[in-house]
Amino acid sequence: MKPAQISRTIVSPASWSALPWGEYYREALNHHLEPYWSKLFGFHLLKIGHLSAELATEKCAISHQISMAPEGDDIHIFGDAHQFPFSNKSIDACVLAHTLNYSSDPHRILREVDRVLIDDGWLILSNFNPMSIVGAASIMPILKNKLPYCSRLFSQMRLLDWLQLLNYEIVHQSRFQVLPWSKNGGELLSAHLPVLGCMSLIIARKRTIPMTLNPLSLRCAEPRWRNVVGTTKNIHRRS
């Protein structure tokens, strides 16, 4: 397995339109996120990166929405995704739209997200799927240095492992948009072969209570009763 942290810098696209068929990607992601915006409650929604900032979040129940990126015209706060300028447990929901794909240290970004999220806060994470057309194109010499194929591709299983180590509950996971050049993403293929979808989406919640109980702790918590068989025999002998 390749290491998560690398030394080289990957330039993130300034908008979805900078990606081939980027508008189709954004529309597909907006469509899959639409049922969940009404479930998010709180005071602050943080959108990290240019791609996150361009998502349609008007239907989100959280009214105060902040977009953060190193630069840009429609960005509220200029900041580094590896070091958030926010206090601990001050954000109710974070959106990482393909942010990890263009990060040299994705673990650090996830740790920062975990630091600023409140207990039971929401994390929305999208990613390019390596087991897809995008993944196949990324190993082609002609395309591997172009967007989006130059990005880092993490499998959904690997992302789920990272989140479970941070004790996140997975609310939703899906893959879609099998054909990136199609507006509907190849609806029939996406329905029957979602594993080949170019887009991967994970929605999770931060939990403070461990999701699995430790069997050793359960055994230690059990009451220990004294064996009274020997006592009964002694009393019987005395009598």
| Long-range pairs for 49-53: beta carbons < 8 A, 24 or more residues apart | 49/12, 49/81, 49/96, 49/97, 49/98, 49/99, 49/102, 50/12, 50/13, 50/14, 50/15, 50/75, 51/12, 51/13, 51/15, 51/16, 51/26, 51/97, 51/98, 51/99, 52/95, 52/96, 52/97, 52/99
Residue 26 inside a domain? The answer is yes
Residue 122: which domain range? Answer: 16-211
Residue 167 inside a domain? The answer is yes
Instruction: Give the model confidence (pLDDT) of 29-74 as tens digits.
Output: 999 999 999 999 999 999 999 999 999 999 999 999 999 999 988 8
Residue 238 inside a domain? The answer is no
pTM: 0.84
Structure-token match 């393909």, residue found: 98
Residues recorded for the chain: 239
Question: Residue by residue, what is the 3-state secondary structure of 79-121?
Answer: CECCECCCCCCCEEEEEEECCHHHCCCHHHHHHHHHHHEEEEE
CATH number at residue 28: 3.40.50.150
22 confidence band (pLDDT: 50, 70, 90): very high
Q: Give the count of domains, the chain.
A: 1
Of the candidates 95, 97, 100, the residue with the CA atom closest to the CA atom of residue 151: 100
Residue 234 inside a domain? The answer is no
228 confidence band (pLDDT: 50, 70, 90): very low
pLDDT at 2: 65
Confirm if 81 and 48 have CB atoms less than 8 A apart.
Answer: yes
Residue 71 inside a domain? The answer is yes
Instruction: Give the model confidence (pLDDT) of 68-125 as tens digits.
Output: 999 988 899 999 999 999 999 999 999 999 999 999 999 999 999 999 999 999 999 9
Confirm if 68 and 99 have CB atoms less than 8 A apart.
Answer: no
Residue 221 inside a domain? The answer is no
Q: Is 167 exposed, middle or buried (0-12, 13-18, 19+ CB in 10 A)?
A: middle
Residue 48 inside a domain? The answer is yes
Residue 55 inside a domain? The answer is yes
